[in-house]
Amino acid sequence: MQRTIKFLVKHKFLLIVVLLTIPTFFRMLRPGIYSMQDYHAFRQYEFNQCVKAGQIPCRWAPDAGLGYGVPLFNFYGQFAYAIGEGYILLGGQVIDSIKFLFILSLLGSSVAMYFLAKHIWKDNLSALVSTTLYLYAPYRAVNVWVRGALPEAFSFILFPLILLAVEKKSLSWFSLLLSLLIITHNLSLIMFLPILGLWIIYRKYWKAFGGGVVSLLLSAFYVLPVIFESKYVSLSNIVFGYFDYKAHFISLYQIFISRYWGYGGSTWGTGDELSLSVGILQWAVPLLALIFILIKRKIRESTTFLILVGTGLFYAFLTHSRSIFFWIHVPGMAYIQFPWRFLGMVTFSFTLASGYLIGMFKNRMKIMIAVLTVLTAVILSVSFFREDKWLKINDNDLFTGDEWTNQKTASIGDYWPNFGHAIPKVPSDGTYINYFPGWIGATPDENGLIPSEGVVFTDTPIRKVGNMVSLIALILVIATILKNKRKKV
């Protein structure tokens, strides 16, 4: 008992972080699942089918595309689903695994931000403020409770951990964590690169650039197929029509002032039916710190803070139509689809910077301001962390009947093989499936279809090379981590 008390006292701030996280997910702790705008339960189900078939790494989603199958996981980040698969293998339902993953994204990101902020600001109260603002930012609630953007939500765990690896100059961990971000959500990687590159230069940790190469080797099983096999699928649906970035810029009012909350979608103009705000307190706290810095003329002593604020402002600029120049001329920007996705990086930069304000005060004033900030952040945003509709269903309800057909239709045009077969309007009867490199045992007909019987899905040469490179790199990185651990002991 005494040991438990001593442990809790020693880690009291971390315990507070965990307790503060509970209101963001406690409504998930009941049978069923909430409505969301994406189909991650279906993707988790398909990932489970890969594991059952012994297809590791997972490539092919057999039920996607109305049962014709698409190479979903050859191009879509799969790390979160790999974690969810562990939950399923332990006997859990697919829908519960999705709730587990979202809970993990909230809890894991809070703990990760706490350790990063504590390392940077050298203060527990500062770390607590940064963590609370990071957790209770409106965009975090949107990702989890409205959009259901699982890979993006999961990336919020990795952002702080990657910068912490730079801070601690741990090359092996940096390489490993960066590779996890690559295979979690490649769009989050693209958005994170500016602040990561700037931080590496600021800390003069030049080895990290070599670590970036190692991270590519670790994720080669995913990266190489993306590079060399994307030509075999249709990507037009990802960047045109509704997904054209020019339709999804947001206004300054939406970013900084609006308290609107809804469960609809992003629309042309400023009539969006979901919150696209960074959060009032999330920018007000660093603004107050900036004012104090200018009054006290402590600009030189505040370099880290100013870099974070400057980076946050740059990311906020990219959500506005005035940044169209970047979107037109920077390669790959169109694939981000929604400029407001950069709100995640605004949130990360501003909330990490916010902890600096607490360090400007001492004694009781410091405690009072920290407590007031934490309570205000929770009060302003806790109501956002709730469902629109609660669905009292289980796996059997979701993966049978009409609902199963709807699941198989989800994002049907994404990664559709371009070997001749047009996107269908009716489900496959199971006789034929889409051809894609890796299927052996039959030759595709003029429609790009092959019989579903008598064929086997295997890795192409480029996938085999990627698998081998990743395996060797992983063994070497793990060996290095263990070796360094022994040296410290």
Of residues 102, 105, 103, 123, the one with CA closest to residue 114? 123
Are the beta carbons of 323 and 88 closer than 8 angstroms?
Answer: no
The residues, any chain, with a CB within 8 Å of residue 99's CB and separated by 6 or more, are 28, 33
- The alpha helices in 69-185, defined as continuous H runs, are 72-75, 79-89, 94-121, 124-135, 138-141, 150-167, 171-184
Residue type, 290: L
Residue type, 227: I
How many Å apart are CA 164 and CA 177, to the nearest integer? 10
C-alpha to C-alpha distance for 100 and 441, rounded to whole angstroms: 39
Report the chain's C-alpha Rg in angstroms: 23
The predicted pLDDT at position 1 comes to 67
Average pLDDT score, the chain = 93
Residue 329: alpha-carbon gap to chain centroid:
25
- Is the CB of residue 309 less than 8 Å from the CB of residue 288? no
Task: Please state at what angle helix 124-135 crosses helix 280-296, rounded to 10 degrees.
Answer: 140
d(CA 105, CA 55): 26
pLDDT digits over 127-138, tens only?
999 999 999 999
pLDDT of res. 406: 85
At 98 the pLDDT is: 97
- The answer on pLDDT for 239 being more than 90 is no
- Which pLDDT score, from 0 to 100, does residue 463 have? 97
| pLDDT over 80 (residue 377) | yes
Where is average pLDDT lowest: 86-90, 104-108, 264-268? Answer: 264-268
Decide which of 239 and 358 is more confident: 358
Answer for the pair 471, 218: CB distance below 8 angstroms, yes or no: no
DSSP state, residue 334: G
Using N-to-C axis directions, what is the helix angle for 186-203 and 150-167, rounded to 10°? Answer: 20
- Per the DSSP assignment, residues forming a β-bridge with 61 are 70
Per residue in 241-256, pLDDT (tens digit) is 778 898 999 999 999 9
**Any idea how long the chain is?**
489
Question: Which of 434, 410, 430, 440 lies closest to 422 in space, CA to CA?
Answer: 434
**Looking at residue 243, what is its pLDDT?**
82
How confident is the model at residue 269, as a pLDDT?
76
Cα separation, 27 vs 92, whole angstroms: 18
- Per residue in 282-332, pLDDT tens? 999 999 999 999 998 888 889 999 999 999 999 999 999 999 999 999 988
Output the CA torsion sign for 367, 372, 373, 379.
Answer: positive
Mean pLDDT value of segment 14-28:
97
pTM (two decimals): 0.95
Strand partners, 416: 234
Do the beta carbons of residue 116 and residue 249 sit within 8 Å? no
Confidence band for 5, pLDDT divided at 50, 70 and 90: confident
Q: What is the largest CA-CA distance in the chain?
A: 76
Q: Using one digit for the tens of pLDDT, what is the confidence trace for 415-452?
A: 899 887 778 888 888 899 999 999 999 999 988 999 99
- Kindly report, residue by residue over 40-89, the tens digit of the pLDDT: 999 999 999 999 999 999 999 999 988 999 999 999 999 999 999 999 99
- Give the per-residue pLDDT at 8: 67
pLDDT at 425: 80
